[in-house]
Structures are given as C-alpha cells and as structure tokens.
Amino acid sequence: MQDLTYSTPGMTAGDEPAPLGFRVLRVRTALGAGTFDRAAEALFRWRMHRGTPLLRLSATAEEAAPGVRVSLRLGPVRAPCEVVWAVRESNRAGFGYGTLPGHPECGEEAFILERRPDGSVDFTVLAVSRPSAWYLKAAGPCGRAAQRVVAGRYGATLRRLARS
C-alpha cells in the first residue's frame, strides 16, 4: 500500500469522518430479498465492474482481496486502484479500494452489501475522495455528478446480476 495517493487507508471501512478536503458520496441500491449470496459472488469476482456499461477492468487476481491491484478504464480515462480492505460475514460483505498514482481522484471507494433482518439486501457505494486530475478539478460539481452516475450504474448492474 506504499503507492496509495492518500494517507488514511481503510477510511471507508468504518464510521470515521472524512479527512479534511475530502467529500463523501453514498449511493444505496435495494437489491431485493434472497440476493445476498449471488450479489457477493458477483461483487468479489469483479462481475459487477465488468458488467457496468462503458467500464473496462483488469485485476491482478480473480477475486477482490487486500493487495489486489485493479485498473479501471472509462473511455480514455485510466483509474488504477488497490484493494485495501475486505469483509465477508454472514450479513455483511464488501471491500474498498484506494487510488494509486494516475487515478483522476484521490481517496477510497467501497462496495458494501448488507442483509437486513427481514432478508432484504442493500448495496452501498461509498466514496471518500477529492479530485486530483486537473480536468476533474475544473469540472467542479459535474465531476461529482459523473461519480454519482457511475455509482448508480454499479447498483443497477449488481441488482441485475444478483437476480439472474
């Protein structure tokens, strides 16, 4: 984790406040009852990322785990990351990856599944970040809106995968 572009790895794993200058984005998607196990498999095996329109992914391992390096591409934009934490419990599963040099953002993004007592399943994308590339800084609120759109697409893709 020496190459991360921020100094607080794991900041999406708990309830810590965001570091000064970082913004929090949280997008929650209801997946439906009985989808937890299929959703967790799709999430950890990168199927959610690979199934999201316009996004390309390469990873150094078949499954998400701490230390695995990931490179995401959205058109010409390359976004290298490293998984910094992961959890697999009976009612909670997910992981977070942190930005590496060359990523247009600086920070961490987490993908968290939670099975509620009534059997319903929620999926949350949590990003704690700030722009690092000049074009994202110049984009201002439009960059944040694009991040929200991608998070929504992750949720829609995972819902589809978990129900099929």
CA angle at residue 18 from 12 to 19, to 5 degrees?
120
- 159 domain-assigned: yes
- 10 domain-assigned: no
Residue that wins the pLDDT comparison between 141 and 62: 62
For 96-150, what is each residue's pLDDT tens digit? 999 999 999 999 999 999 999 999 999 999 999 999 988 888 888 888 888 899 8
Structural domain of 64: 24-163
The confidence score (pLDDT) of residue 103 equals 93
- 16 domain-assigned: no
Query: CB-based burial of residue 111 (10 Å sphere; 0-12 exposed, 13-18 middle, 19+ buried)?
Result: buried
Among 124, 92, 123, 97, residue whose Cα is nearest residue 109: 97
- 98 domain-assigned: yes
Cα distance between residue 71 and residue 14, in whole Å: 25
Residue 69 makes CB contacts below 8 A (sequence gap 6+) with: 59, 60, 80, 81, 82, 83, 100
Confirm if 61 and 83 have CB atoms less than 8 A apart: no
Task: Give this prediction's pTM.
Answer: 0.94
- What CATH number corresponds to the domain at position 114? 3.30.530.20
Residues 79-95: what's their mean pLDDT?
97
pLDDT at 1 over 70: no
The confidence score (pLDDT) of residue 35 equals 96
For 4-53, what is each residue's pLDDT tens digit? 999 999 999 988 888 899 999 999 999 999 999 999 999 999 999 999 88
Question: How many domains does the structure of the chain reveal?
Answer: 1
Cα distance between residue 133 and residue 7, in whole Å: 18
The confidence score (pLDDT) of residue 29 equals 97
- 37 domain-assigned: yes
The confidence score (pLDDT) of residue 2 equals 64
Question: And the tokens for 95?
Answer: 């992981």
